[in-house]
Amino acid sequence: ASFKRINEVDDKVKAFLTLNEEEARSHAKNLDEALEKEGVNGALFGIPAGIKDNITTKGVRTTCASKILANFEPVHDATVIEGLNKANSVQIGKLNMDEFAMGSSNENSGFFVTRNPWNTDYVPGGSSGGSAAAVAAGEVPFTLGSDTGGSIREPAAYCGVVGLKPTYGRVSRYGLVAFASSLDQIGPITRTVEDNALVLQQIAGHSNMDSTSADIPVPDFLSMITGEIKGKRIGVPKEYLSEGVEQGVKDRVLEALKVLEDLGASWEEVSLPHSKYAVSCYYLLASSEASANLARFDGVRYGVRSDNANDLLEMYQRSRDEGFGDEVKRRIMLGTFALSSGYYDAYYKKAQKVRTLIKRDFEEVLQNYDVIVGPTSPTTAFKIGEQVDDPLTMYANDVMTIPINLAGVPAISVPCGFSQGMPVGLQIIGKPFEEGEVYRMAHAYE
Ligand code: GLN
């Protein structure tokens, strides 16, 4: 059914970079036989999955949507892929994204632009745009994305599907090609909250291969989505409903809060006063980390090597020049500058201090409230080409998702109606490692 749907719609949506139909079909067949003969089962038994192309898959091309990795076949699976395999899911292919997960629209892919299934003139969001569009178009029931500053939640909102960024440390990053290691998390994109919880259950938990993955027990998420939210306290940051937010987005969020109230929760206005610094702080820190992480792509160790070089240094330079796109180069330059001696204290160190203030804002509010609720993004999806020449406008799409990564807390985007004909996302933010409470609220609303 998945391949049939992909054949019908993917030439318009363009969500997939790589499809492994033959392997997927034989894997599915083997599972059927194992079920028949040995009663083999699994939480995701036979369910097709699409994987963002910055998550390594053994023997299956993993490009990060970058020309520099156009021919890269990893020799190992990411921890999350092992989790899906254990649950007997069937991976059918790899999904388009902004190059190295840098972007909010998928227009930074080194290969082609994925389109929003609701209206193909519009962006699907990014950087996990392929992951969100594939679910929205009915090509697969679930996908994995990654979220460094909003890259699961923003495309989920723009495509009208459910996307969760887990608490930093909840899911192993082993096998996720690093963008900004202190912010990156892998998470599921699905049609429903229940599906989302089911997938997270299979990929969460400590791994010896990632020292930042948390060694704390993973609760049974499904048992927490009871529909019961009576007496729950919701904080609504005034900064998230201020000017600059599309009227239709505000209206839908206020309507959603009314639904939650009718279910017995209560809400009050709160403040996250340092949120206004989050975008600047994030672009300094994320770019700094990216400049270090992307140093490994040198034409020697991975991927594509330039043919046009006369000596070693020129080979590095030309491989990187030919392999990386404009946005990736912009970030490497910004990050290298921010980390250089003489500027380190003024930029990188300052941004680290601001990050602490932002984190404290969340800690304070979450002492008194069970969850924080607001929009996922200030607007709905925009038209392809509309913002691509203006990086600062593009960066502003993440004002409401970036603070959550800087604070390390979990957050989900669930669909909450439409504005100007395009889907709106409701963002529900929780306490560290309380994805279960986030799911509970999201599921009650849904
Ligand atoms: N849009 C943000 C960026 O370009 C977030 C990306 C992400 O979460 N991977 O960095």
Atom of ligand 1 nearest to the CA of 101: 9
Pocket test for ligand 1, best of 104, 152, 382, 388 (most atoms within 8 A of CB): 104
Angle at 185 (CA atoms; ends 181, 188), nearest 5 degrees: 160
Mutate to test the pocket of ligand 1, among 151, 179, 393, 401 (most ligand atoms within 8 A of CB): 151
CB 428 within 8 A of CB 403: no
Q: Is 127 in the pocket of ligand 1 (CB under 6 A)?
A: yes
Distance 103 CA to ligand 1 centre (A): 5
Q: What is the pLDDT along the chain (446 residues), one digit of tens a residue?
A: 999 999 999 999 999 999 999 999 999 999 999 999 999 999 999 999 999 999 999 999 999 999 999 999 999 999 999 999 999 999 999 999 999 999 999 999 999 999 999 999 999 999 999 999 999 999 999 999 999 999 999 999 999 999 999 999 999 999 999 999 999 999 999 999 999 999 999 999 999 999 999 999 999 999 999 999 999 999 999 999 988 899 999 999 999 999 999 999 999 999 999 999 999 999 999 999 999 999 999 999 888 999 989 999 999 999 999 999 999 999 999 999 999 989 999 999 999 999 999 999 999 999 999 999 999 999 999 999 999 988 888 888 999 999 999 999 999 999 999 999 999 999 999 999 999 999 999 999 99
Distance 154 CA to ligand 1 centre (A): 9
**What span, in angstroms and rounded, lies between the C-alpha atoms of 407 and 46?**
36
Residue pair 325/108 in contact (Cβ under 8 Å)? The answer is yes
Please identify, by atom number, the ligand 1 atom nearest to the C-alpha of residue 283: 10
Q: Which residue is catalytic, options 14, 52, 232, 250?
A: 52
The SS3 assignment for 205 reads coil
Assess whether the C-beta atom of 103 lies below 6 angstroms from ligand 1: yes
Active site residue 2: no
CA of 100 relative to ligand 1 center, distance in Å: 9
DSSP state of 161: -
Distance of alpha carbon 113 from alpha carbon 384, whole angstroms: 9
Cα 281 to Cα 216, 397, 402, distances in angstroms: 29, 15, 9
Annotated active-site residue 341? The verdict is: no
SS3 155: helix
- The residue whose CB lies within 8 Å of the most ligand 1 atoms, and thus the one to mutate among 53, 98, 123, is 98
For ligand 1, is residue 104 a contact (CB within 6 Å)? yes
Q: Which atom of ligand 1 is the closest one to the Cα of 126?
A: 1
Residue 288 designated active-site:
no
Q: Whose CA is nearest to atom 5 of ligand 1?
A: 149
pLDDT tens sequence across 120-176: 999 999 999 999 999 999 999 999 999 999 999 999 999 999 999 999 999 999 999
C-alpha span between 388 and 108 (Å, rounded): 8
Ligand 1 atom having least distance to the Cα of 282: 10
Q: Is the CB of 128 under 6 A from ligand 1?
A: no
Ligand 1 atom with minimal separation from the 104 CA: 1
Q: What is the largest CA-CA distance in the chain?
A: 70
Kindly name the residue from 105, 109, 127, 146 that is annotated as catalytic.
127
Is the minimum distance from the CB of 101 to ligand 1 under 6 angstroms? Answer: yes
- Ligand 1 mean position to 349 CA, how many Å? 21
Three-class SS state of 48: strand
Rounded distance between C-alpha atoms, residue 32 and residue 257, angstroms: 44
Is the confidence metric ipTM above 0.85 for this complex?
yes
CB of 366 closer than 6 angstroms to any ligand 1 atom: no
Instruction: Determine the distance separating the centroid of ligand 1 and the alpha carbon of 147, expressed in angstroms.
Output: 7
Indicate whether residue 125 lines ligand 1 (CB < 6 A). Answer: no
Using CA atoms of 97, 101, 105, 111 in order, give the dihedral in degrees to the nearest 10: -40
Closest CA to 379 of 413, 422, 411: 422
List, in order, residues 6 or more apart from 338 with CB less than 8 Å away: 284, 287, 288, 344, 347, 348, 351
151, 275, 288, 319: which one is catalytic?
Answer: 151
Distance CA 153, CA 343 (A): 33
- Residues 233 and 118: their CA atoms lie apart, in Å, by 34
**Ligand 1 atom nearest to CA at 331:** 10
Whole-number pLDDT of residue 396: 86
